[in-house]
Structure 1
Amino acid sequence: MMALLRLATLGDPGRYWVGYLFRAISRVVAASNPLWRFTYTGAVPADPRRPYVVVSNHESFADILLISHLPWEMKWLSKAELFRIPVMGWLMHLAGDVPVKRGVGPSAIEAMARCRQILSRRVSVMIFPEGTRSPTADLLPFKDGAFHLAIDAGVPILPLALHGTATALPKHDWRFARSTAIVEVLDPIETAGLTPADVPALKERVRGTIVEARNRLARQLA
């Protein structure tokens, strides 16, 4: 495994292009499912190497496949259990995604340090600030980590809103179902001049923006 990692990342120390290829594979996987119709909308960042902390609501495991349709590379902060799934977990390691053990403080600190390093290499980081998939149509409260990271690194927040994946692959159920799902890229929110004291207000502003857009997408797909 380690030999494969070294071979795959030669000449690509930030694993940008390895990750880009992995997301392309994810798009192919989604497109090959005849029950799913996944797409995206909104203004794609003009510079794919301008780093953002990208945040989204979280409906389903299929969110990963939907968001992978976006045409730029970002590294994912994901629960450590996913990295132990055969093939998928190996590809996540190759792509340079960041594992975190939920509820383990030192793991979260180490993961955020890795995220700051990724941002310094001009690569975006993708985080689900709810921390887990919502079991209902309502968004869970957002955690602070993504917003502290953006302020600390001095990069904007890029919100995404998605809808439709909850029916594609429901929580605690691995049976595929027919689904039309969409992810919308929303306007970036600057963090310049903000301090940790601004995290609660920033967090609620971003959450409100995502809720409003998600509700609009739900009406659009109804």
Structure 2
Amino acid sequence: MGVQMKTQDLQINQFMLKNLSMGFCDRILGVWCAPILVGSILVAFIIFSFNPALSQEKKGDPSFVAVGAGSFDFNRKKDDGLELRIEYRSGQKFMDTIFKPFGAVGYSPNDHTFFGGGLLVDMFFGRRYVLTPSFGPHIYSGGNSKLDLGHKLQFRSQLEFSYRLDDRARLGVAVSHYSNAGLGSKNPGTESLIVYYNHPLKLK
């Protein structure tokens, strides 16, 4: 009886470890994880383009330096590990639109580095909460036998949800997707889960 119970416990533990090791998005959304993330960002851009009142810049919001840390390749876990980021997020609108430019550097010690930029839009829900979709091209360097993203040019799609502090700083969490959009012979893509602190550079 004791041996049987130990065997059952071992099987249960193996089952739990196997499921915990599966990608978070894969377990919930399956192969649709990345398309749903990218699609959500595109839909958000479209909706708020036609409803600019929701993207009105709150009084006092400046440019930001954003620092982030989190999990690289957290979904499929082919080469999961730490990812660090630093970004500059301009407070100035791009060509008098609702969009703002940003520049970003991302680095994973697993030999993945990203340099790039793009456009973002801040969508305010009340005074405290901000949803920030962003999109932009990045130059990719690195790759290994576990994960090679297939091309030097990658496109980062990201959705970030932040809490706005009294001094205009923000604390947020973001899910992002890197993809070469089919430019390479292979396009495995990868997802990152990042916690951000957005430090205001100046007050208006």
TM-score by length of 2: 0.28
TM-score by length of 1: 0.26
Structure in which a larger fraction of residues adopt helix = 1
Largest Rg, 1 or 2: 2
Structure in which a larger fraction of residues adopt strand = 2
Q: Which has the higher contact order (CA 8 A, sep 6+)?
A: 1
